C-alpha cells in the first residue's frame, strides 16, 4: 500500500518527482489534458503548496508511466521486464555421459531482479547463472540446509574458492584448495573431514561454477 507524505520535506520531494515525470511526459499542459488534473493543481503539487490526492496522483502516474509509489518513495515497483529467471537444478543428475547441465533436471525457474543480481560483488552480467539447493549441514551457518546457492557457470576453471560441482552424479558445494597433487574439498562445518581428490581422479569431478551468492553475497 502506498505511503502518505508526512512533512513539508516529503511534499517537496514528491513535487520534484512530479516535475521530472511531467517534464518527461511532455509538460504540464499535455499531462493536464491527458490526466484531467488542472494545470494549476499540478503546479501546486510541484511547488509543494498542497498535498496530492490519491486519485489525482494516480491519474498523473498513469499518464507519465510511473506508479504512485514512485511519487511517494522514488521507486517504481519492479515489473516483469526487471526480472531474470534463474534455473534451479536438481542435485541428483541422471547417470551417463554428457555435460552436467545436459543431465540435470530443472526443478523450477526462480525470479531475481536484475538489481539483486548486479548487487552481488563482481557481477556485471545476469547471465550464466545456476541455482542449487544446499542439502545437509556440512556448509555450516553460511551455507545452511535448504538454502539456495547461486553459481556462475562461466567461472568454472579449477581454482581456490567456493564451488558447485558434480561428483558421482550428485551436485555438491565445497571449498576448493588447489594443491600440487590435486584438490582438497573443505566444508565450512569443521566436524566434516576434508576430502582429497588426486589429479588422476579429476575426470570424476565436473565444475558447475563458482558460488557467488547464498542468501547473501559470499
Whether residue 36 has pLDDT greater than 90: yes
Dist. CA 200–CA 63, nearest whole Å: 66
Q: Which CATH number does the domain housing residue 176 bear?
A: 2.10.109.10
H or E element at residue 179: none
Where does the pLDDT of residue 124 fall: very low under 50, low under 70, confident under 90, or very high at 90 and above? Answer: confident
Range from 36-40, 100-104, 196-200 carrying the lowest mean pLDDT:
100-104
Whether 191 maps to a domain, the answer reads: yes
Q: Are residues 137 and 34 in the same domain?
A: no
DSSP string over 66-88: --HHHHHHS-PPP-GGGEEEEEE
Containing structural domain, residue 20: 8-73
Of 45, 73, 101, the domain-final residue: 73
Of 73, 104, 125, the domain-final residue: 73
Taking residue 143's Cβ as centre, other Cβ atoms within 10 Å add up to: 23
Q: Are residues 95 and 188 in the same domain?
A: yes
Q: Are residues 85 and 47 in the same domain?
A: no
Mean pLDDT of 42-68: 92
Residue bearing cell 533436471: 105
Whether 66 maps to a domain, the answer reads: yes
Q: Are residues 138 and 48 in the same domain?
A: no
Cβ contacts of residue 63 below 8 Å, gap of 6+? Answer: 25, 31, 34, 35
Cβ contacts of residue 167 below 8 Å, gap of 6+? Answer: 204, 205, 206
Whether 1 maps to a domain, the answer reads: no
Q: Which CATH number does the domain housing residue 65 bear?
A: 1.10.260.40
Is the model's pTM score more than 0.85? no
Q: Are residues 31 and 132 in the same domain?
A: no
Q: Are residues 15 and 59 in the same domain?
A: yes
Q: Are residues 34 and 131 in the same domain?
A: no
Dist. CA 12–CA 106, nearest whole Å: 49
Whether 2 maps to a domain, the answer reads: no
Share of the chain above pLDDT 70, in %: 90
Q: Are residues 101 and 65 in the same domain?
A: no
Q: Are residues 94 and 177 in the same domain?
A: yes
Q: Indicate the number of domains in the chain.
A: 2
Of 53, 73, 93, the domain-final residue: 73
Whether 205 maps to a domain, the answer reads: yes
Q: Are residues 68 and 156 in the same domain?
A: no
Give me the pLDDT at residue 9, please: 65
Amino acid at each position: 500500500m502506498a505511503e502518505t507524505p508526512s512533512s513539508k520535506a516529503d511534499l517537496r520531494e514528491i513535487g520534484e518527482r512530479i516535475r521530472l515525470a511531467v517534464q518527461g511526459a511532455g509538460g504540464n499542459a499535455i499531462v493536464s489534458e491527458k490526466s484531467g488534473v488542472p494545470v494549476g493543481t499540478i503546479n501546486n503539487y510541484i511547488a509543494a503548496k498542497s498535498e496530492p490526492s490519491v486519485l489525482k496522483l494516480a491519474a498523473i502516474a498513469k499518464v507519465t508511466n510511473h506508479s504512485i509509489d514512485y511519487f511517494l518513495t522514488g521507486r517504481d515497483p519492479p515489473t516483469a521486464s526487471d526480472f531474470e529467471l534463474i534455473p534451479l537444478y536438481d542435485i541428483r543428475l541422471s547417470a551417463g555421459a554428457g555435460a552436467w547441465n545436459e543431465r540435470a533436471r530443472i526443478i523450477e525457474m526462480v525470479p531475481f531482479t536484475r538489481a539483486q543480481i548486479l548487487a552481488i560483488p563482481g557481477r556485471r552480467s545476469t547471465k550464466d547463472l545456476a541455482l542449487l539447493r544446499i542439502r545437509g549441514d556440512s556448509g555450516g551457518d553460511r551455507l545452511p540446509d535448504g538454502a539456495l546457492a547461486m553459481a556462475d557457470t562461466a567461472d568454472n576453471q579449477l581454482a581456490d574458492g567456493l564451488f558447485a560441482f558434480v561428483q558421482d552424479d550428485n551436485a555438491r558445494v565445497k571449498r576448493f584448495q588447489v594443491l600440487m597433487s590435486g584438490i582438497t574439498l573443505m566444508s565450512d562445518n569443521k566436524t566434516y573431514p576434508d576430502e582429497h581428490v588426486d589429479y588422476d581422479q579429476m575426470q570424476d569431478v565436473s565444475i558447475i561454477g563458482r558460488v557467488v551468492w547464498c542468501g547473501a553475497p559470499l
